[in-house]
Amino acid sequence: MDDISAATTRAPDDRVLPYTVPALDIRGRVVRLGASLDDILGRHHYPEPVARVLAEAAALTVMLGSTLKGEGRFQLQTKSDGAIPMLVVDFNAPDSYRAMARYDAERLAQAMEAGTLSTGELLGSGHLAMTVDQGSETTRYQGIVALEGQSLEEAGHQYFRQSEQIPTRIRLGVGSVLSGGGLAWRAGGLIAQFMPTSPDRLRAADLSPGDAPEGHAILAAAADDNDGISDDAWAETRSLLGTIEHHELLDPTLDSERLLYRLFHERGAHVFEPLAVRDACRCSRERVMGMLKGFSQDDRQAMVADDGTLGVTCEFCSRRYDFSAAEVEAELSAQD
């Protein structure tokens, strides 16, 4: 663990930086996504509003999924009635993620013409699910948040109020910057969670001790500006996070350490070993074959092209897998 000083000069991308501010009883993470995110969005050629919303979801997912210990998967998925009816972002512990979106081109064009392009407006009404799956030896967990036109930041706040019951603030920023003569996508995010340990603060926050507090009054006070917590440290944290400018989460010359120093230098922030993250898909020829097994033989036959091949393109990485119809049926028969 290192103390943060004002002397930091590097600004590395595609990493997550854990931190704590002991004087305020908070812990959190800062994420910066650069080339990995630009590669994902570049493969799909999404319209700008779709790319922006998916980039927000990617930053949020990487920030939350990187807390997994060991192997496992954290997935964020939305299903809604807006111009972007589905987002899926997977974080595969310890260090890789992938992302995809589906959008309605006609409805998106209407939204662009009307100027209704906020994240909440593009997603519409539906739900957001966050799923933690750490293998067969652990219980799969899923938290669901209703989407009602709110931002992904607020949806994240609701997730922690309802599922984790930990006072949480999230800030997200997405945009593009000049890089190598062209524009490149970037995203940044910061999360802070109030984790009091002193008896006085535990009483003030109505929290139970430990890393995962249970059963406090935060649910009943969701609309309160301070999350229903009468603690000066949490009020100060929220106030400080409210000063973060959008560009500070994206600026390639402002690294995560310096951002934390700007926020918490009077209180003393400490950082831990950063985690480098990368863009990587989980698809494979074997997984695609397993997916095809889920279709009936008649459905598989309907997928066969005029040249006798059956092609499947991964929605995440755009990689195409081509099979002959005879090969598929022979392999699936051998698996039975």
Euclidean distance between CA atoms 19 and 16, whole angstroms: 10
- Two tokens at 23? 């004087």
pLDDT at 201 over 70: no
**DSSP line for 184-241:** EEEEEEEEEEE---SHHHHHHHT--SSSS--S-TTGGGTTSTTTT---HHHHHHHHHH
- Two tokens at 42? 């570049």
Average pLDDT on 180-185 reads: 83
Residues of the domain holding 327: 285-335
pLDDT range class, residue 213, cuts 50, 70, 90? very low
Q: What is the pLDDT of residue 207?
A: 43
pLDDT at 164 over 80: no
- Mean pLDDT for the chain? 86
Which position has the higher pLDDT, 68 or 327? 68
Cβ-contact 4, 265 below 8 angstroms? yes
User: Taking the model in full, what pTM does it have?
Assistant: 0.85
Residues 28 and 42 placed together within one structural domain of the fold = yes
- How many separate domains does the chain show? 2
Residues 243 and 324 placed together within one structural domain of the fold = no
Residues of the chain above pLDDT 90, percent: 62
pLDDT at 227 over 70: no
Euclidean distance between CA atoms 117 and 112, whole angstroms: 6
pLDDT at 294 over 60: yes
Residues 328 and 269 placed together within one structural domain of the fold = no
pLDDT at 87 over 90: yes
Which position has the higher pLDDT, 198 or 121? 121
Q: What is the pLDDT of residue 7?
A: 42
Which position has the higher pLDDT, 178 or 304? 304
Residues 114 and 236 placed together within one structural domain of the fold = yes
Residues 142 and 289 placed together within one structural domain of the fold = no
Residues 233 and 199 placed together within one structural domain of the fold = yes
Residues 159 and 193 placed together within one structural domain of the fold = yes
Average pLDDT on 195-209 reads: 55
Residues 299 and 248 placed together within one structural domain of the fold = no
> Which ranges of the chain would DSSP assign to H, the alpha helix?
35-44, 48-65, 105-114, 119-123, 152-159, 199-205, 232-241, 256-264, 285-293, 297-303, 325-335
Phi, psi angle pair for 141, to nearest 5°: -125, 140
Residues 274 and 314 placed together within one structural domain of the fold = no
- Final residue of a structural domain among 257, 279, 301: 279
- Final residue of a structural domain among 238, 254, 279: 279
Q: What is the pLDDT of residue 211?
A: 37
Residues 218 and 324 placed together within one structural domain of the fold = no
- Residue 299's domain is classified under what CATH number? 3.90.1280.10
- Two tokens at 69? 């210990």
Residues 12 and 51 placed together within one structural domain of the fold = yes
Q: What is the pLDDT of residue 217?
A: 37
Closest CA to 75 of 56, 90, 94, 60: 90
Tens digits of residue pLDDT in 10-27: 468 999 999 999 999 999
Question: Which range in 171-175, 229-233, 297-301, 327-331 is most confidently predicted, on average pLDDT?
Answer: 171-175
- Final residue of a structural domain among 279, 310, 325: 279
Average pLDDT on 257-275 reads: 95
Residues 21 and 133 placed together within one structural domain of the fold = yes
- Residue 106's domain is classified under what CATH number? 3.55.30.10
